[in-house]
Amino acid sequence: MLASSVFFLALAHAQTQARTGPQIPRMPDGKPNFTGLWQALGTAYWDIQDHSAHAGQFFQLGATGAEPAGQGIVQGGEIPYTPAALKQQQENLKNRMKLDPEIKCYMPGIPRANYMAFPFQIIQSQKDIAFAYEYATANRVVNMGKFQPGSVDTWMGTSNGHWEGDTLVVDVADLNGNSWYDRSGNFQTENTHVIERFTMPDADHINYEATIEDKTIYTRPWKIATVLYRRKEKGAQLNEFKCVEYAEELIYGDLRKK
């Protein structure tokens, strides 16, 4: 009788594992361990809203310069801009080849850094959590101790984190307001406040959400949601993409002496 009970318990456990996948890794204190190499899929780096495929800026590039269609990651479908802010977004889109911070190799900001077409690495300690991004070697440290306000506005802002059960919640403030959300001119200001939520449903995925508020350009708070995938191929690592040298002519070319 005892052997049968053990068998059925083991079978139930195996079936649960099959449904849920490998158990999420945990730190010694029991908190989820996000350490690893992660990357988003999809086309949110082009446009975080739903978008169709269309030609790129330069016809000489043909299909290689075209922009792919994709489903957006904005919940509800549209960013709730004020009329003036929507006009600014449209101007940004029209002049993106000169204005997009990514083209100039500036820091990507938050949340853009998390869904660009580059991997990033999370290193979690018993104290704080570090994020290292391949694009432009951007990085940030999430303070998991007593809340610490930033001393100055920066591209990546100031990140303070805490746990809500198994969910890592990160409060991002003190952004300098120069970052965009994508290549379509969707933008933020120095008043933008972001609350991120990282939740591991299993060992190889992170459900990522970010709630964004800024009364100066949005009519209400809004949210994005996507999935981050663990890079598991043999030899997967964070490489360097120091892109400043590729943007020097674009940024400083007009200063050259004639």
Q: Tell me the residue range of the domain where 126 lies.
A: 25-255
CATH number at residue 178: 2.40.128.20
**Is 57 contained in some domain?**
yes
Say if CB 199 and CB 206 are below 8 A apart: yes
pLDDT, greater one: 97 or 123: 123
Pairing of strands 120-124, 36-40: antiparallel
Q: What is the pLDDT of residues 19-52, one digit of tens each?
A: 445 699 999 999 999 999 999 999 999 999 999 9
The answer to whether residue 16 scores a pLDDT higher than 50 is: no
Structure tokens at 130: 């570090």
**Is 8 contained in some domain?**
no
Q: Number of structural domains, the chain?
A: 1
Radius of gyration from C-alpha coordinates of the chain: 21
pLDDT-derived band at 6 (thresholds 50, 70, 90) equals very low
**Is 104 contained in some domain?**
yes
Q: CA 26 to CA 98: how far, in whole Å?
A: 45
Q: CA 223 to CA 211: how far, in whole Å?
A: 4
pLDDT-derived band at 11 (thresholds 50, 70, 90) equals low
pLDDT at 204: 97
Q: What is the pLDDT of residues 196-241, one digit of tens each?
A: 999 999 999 999 999 999 999 999 999 999 999 999 999 999 999 9
Q: CA 188 to CA 170: how far, in whole Å?
A: 18
The answer to whether residue 56 scores a pLDDT higher than 80 is: yes
**Is 207 contained in some domain?**
yes
**Is 10 contained in some domain?**
no
pLDDT-derived band at 3 (thresholds 50, 70, 90) equals low
Buried b (16+ CB within 10 A) or exposed e, 10-38: eeeeeeeeeeeeeebeeeeeeebbbebbb
**Is 9 contained in some domain?**
no
Structure tokens at 135: 């694009």
**Is 246 contained in some domain?**
yes
pLDDT at 250: 83
**Is 43 contained in some domain?**
yes
